[in-house]
Amino acid sequence: MNKLRQPFYIMFHPIEGYEEMRWNKSGSIEVSCLILIIWFMTEVIEHQLTGFIFNHNRPYSLNPLLVFSSTIIAFLLFTGSNWAFTTLMDGEGSFENIVIYCAYALVPYIIVTLVVVVLSRVLILQEGIFLSWLKALGILWSMVLVFCALAVVHQYSYGKALGSIFLTLIGMLIILFIAVLIASLFQQVAVFLRTIYNEMMYRL
């Protein structure tokens, strides 16, 4: 199967597609990186080009760093946390495989989001409920694919896969908490060193 066609096949045949990819080792890290880049660009497009009737964002308020953090960084945080916990739970998936499988699961969300952006420029306000339902469908679709991806890549039962996702989310919160503590510590050290430097310069 062509590597670029594989994510679209998995959209409609998740278990079969992921199992085939696992046995044939046909997942592509290059395609996964391409999907992540397209996801980042899709979020930017949604922020900037959604029809003005449905767009509550100010075009000049776009913060690429914030979008990058909410997409690529969040994705790596999720996959890294999942790898850390599943290593302790006899999971068979490597970090690279987790990244590949989960990246492929983002394709439905990306496609639906782009469709929503296009429709938002032609629909009227009273028809906005259809956009909300369509966006919810894209999110749910990708969530189901992520669930299937983790079940297959780690060779877990559905119950164990669900438990691993719960632990992954807890791990993400722990990592974020530690990151905030470290950032706060470095900030305090920087302020302390700056104060000492200013005091020395004043006395000299």
- Tens of pLDDT along 96-136? 999 999 999 999 999 999 999 999 988 888 888 899 999 99
Averaged confidence pLDDT in the chain: 91
With 70 as the cut, is the pLDDT of residue 1 above it? no
pLDDT at 127: 81
Confidence of residue 204 (pLDDT cuts 50, 70, 90): low
pLDDT at 86: 93
Which comes out higher in pLDDT, residue 83 or 196? Answer: 83
Does the pTM surpass 0.95? The reply is no
Burial 10-46 (b: 16+ CB within 10 A, else e): bbeebeebbebbbeeeebbeebbeebbebbbebbeeb
Taking each continuous run of H as one helix and of E as one strand, the counts in the chain are: 9, 0
Residues with Cβ within 8 Å of residue 197, at least 6 apart in sequence: none
